[in-house]
Amino acid sequence: MYPLKFNTIFKTVVWGGEKIAPFKGVETDQHNIGESWELSGVKGNESVVSEGELAGRTVTELASEYKGRLLGEKVYAKTGTEFPLLIKFIDARDDLSIQVHPDDKLAAERHNGSKGKTEMWYVVQADEKAHLMSGLTRRITPEEYAAKVEDNTVTEVLHDYNVKAGDVFFLPAGRIHSIGSGCFIAEIQQTSDITYRIYDFGRKGLDGKPRELHTELSKAAIDYNVLPDYKTEYTEKRNGENEIVSCEYFTTSLYDLDKPFTKDVKSLDSFLIVICTGGAGSLSDSEGHTVSLRQGETVLVPACTGSVTFVPDGNLKLITSYIR
pLDDT tens per residue, range 183-209: 999 999 999 989 999 999 878 777 888
Beta carbons of 278 and 287 less than 8 angstroms apart? no
Give the mean pLDDT of 56-64: 98
Q: What is the DSSP letter of 151?
A: T
The answer to whether 4-232 and 242-322 have equal CATH topology is yes
Average the pLDDT over 18-25 and give the result: 93
User: Looking at residues 156-183, what average pLDDT do you find?
Assistant: 97
Confidence at 28, pLDDT banded by 50, 70, 90: confident
Query: What does the pLDDT read at residue 201?
Result: 87
CB 212 within 8 A of CB 205: no
Spatial contact of 179 and 95, defined as CB atoms under 8 Å apart: yes
Q: Give the pLDDT confidence of 270-304 residue by residue, as tens digits.
A: 999 999 999 999 999 999 999 999 999 999 999 99
Residue 263 has what pLDDT?
98
Predicted pLDDT of residue 159: 97
Residue 31 has what pLDDT?
A: 79
Coil, strand or helix: which one is 73? helix
- Average pLDDT over the chain, rounded to an integer: 95
Q: What pTM did the predictor assign?
A: 0.96
Q: Using an 8 Å Cβ cutoff, are 121 and 209 in contact?
A: no
CATH topology assigned to domain 4-232: Jelly Rolls (2.60.120)
Sign of the C-alpha dihedral, residues 71, 75, 79, 85?
negative
Q: Has residue 11 got a pLDDT over 90?
A: yes
Is residue 20 very low, low, confident or very high in pLDDT (cuts 50, 70, 90)? very high
For residue 217, the model assigns a pLDDT of: 94
The reported pLDDT for the residue numbered 29 is: 78
What's the pLDDT band for 146 if we cut at 50, 70, 90? very high
pLDDT tens for 243-267 read 999 999 999 999 999 999 999 999 9
CATH superfamily, domain at 242-322: Jelly Rolls (2.60.120.10)
Q: Dihedral of the CA atoms 157, 161, 216, 11 (nearest 10)?
A: 160
Residue 83, pLDDT score: 97
- Domain range annotation of the chain: 4-232, 242-322
Name the percent of the chain in helix, strand, coil, to the closest 5.
Answer: 15, 40, 45
Q: What percent of the chain has pLDDT over 90?
A: 91
Is the separation of the CB atoms in 280 and 287 below 8 Å?
no
71-74 long-range contacts (CB < 8 A, ≥24 apart) are: 71/270, 71/271, 71/303, 72/268, 72/269, 72/270, 72/271, 72/303, 72/322, 72/323, 73/269, 73/303, 74/269, 74/270, 74/323
